[in-house]
C-alpha cells in the first residue's frame, strides 16, 4: 500500500489548480539516485501536499512527458526557467508552451552515459546540476 501523500503525476497535476500558490518541484537525484516530484502549497512551498518518487530514469522521463503535455496544452501551466518548478500562471506566454523538460532530461541521460564511458569530460548543467550531480 502506498503512502497517503504518494500520488501519481496525473493526480498531482489535477490538484495543482485546487489551492493557493501550489507548484510541483522537480528534484533531480545524483546518478543512480531517485528523482522526486513534490506538490507544494504556500508562498515558500512549506506545505507538502503530495510526492512521487521515480524508480528509474525511464519513469522520470515518462513523468516529465506528462507534465510537458500539460504545459503544451493547458493555458496556465508552465515550467520555470530552470525546470525545477511547474506552476500555474495567469500570464502564460506563447514561448512557454515550447519550454519542455523531457528533452533536457534526455540530454542529461545521454551525457551521463558519455561521462561514465570517458567519451566526454564535462556535461551541460540542467535542472541546477551537472549530469552526475543532484540531490
Write out pLDDT tens, residues 79-119. Answer: 998 899 999 999 998 889 999 999 999 999 999 999 999 99
Establish if 111 belongs to a structural domain: yes
Which range of residues forms the domain containing residue 98? 9-117
* Higher-scoring residue by pLDDT: 107, 128: 107
Residue 37 within any structural domain of the chain: yes
In a domain, 122, yes or no: no
Has residue 13 been placed in a domain? yes
83 closest CA partner among 125, 22, 54, 32: 125
Q: What is the pTM of this model?
A: 0.91
Do the Cβ atoms of 87 and 37 come closer than 8 Å?
no
Q: Is residue 99 part of a domain?
A: yes
Q: Is residue 2 part of a domain?
A: no
Cell of 131: 549530469
Rounded to the nearest integer, the mean pLDDT of the chain is: 91
28 occurs within a structural domain: yes
Outline where the chain has alpha helix (H): 9-15, 57-73, 102-117
112 assigned to some structural domain = yes
Amino acid at each position: 500500500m502506498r503512502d497517503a501523500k504518494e500520488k501519481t503525476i496525473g493526480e498531482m497535476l489535477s490538484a495543482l489548480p485546487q489551492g493557493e500558490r501550489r507548484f510541483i518541484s522537480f528534484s533531480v537525484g545524483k546518478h543512480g539516485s531517485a528523482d522526486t516530484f513534490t506538490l507544494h502549497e504556500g508562498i515558500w512551498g512549506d506545505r507538502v501536499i503530495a510526492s512521487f518518487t521515480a524508480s528509474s530514469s525511464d519513469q522520470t522521463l515518462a513523468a516529465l512527458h506528462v507534465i510537458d503535455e500539460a504545459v503544451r496544452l493547458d493555458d496556465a501551466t508552465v515550467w520555470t526557467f530552470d525546470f525545477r518548478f511547474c506552476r500555474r500562471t495567469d500570464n502564460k506566454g506563447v514561448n512557454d508552451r515550447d519550454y519542455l523538460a523531457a528533452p533536457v532530461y534526455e540530454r542529461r541521460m545521454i551525457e551521463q552515459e558519455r561521462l561514465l564511458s570517458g567519451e566526454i569530460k564535462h556535461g551541460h548543467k540542467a535542472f541546477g546540476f551537472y549530469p552526475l550531480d543532484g540531490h
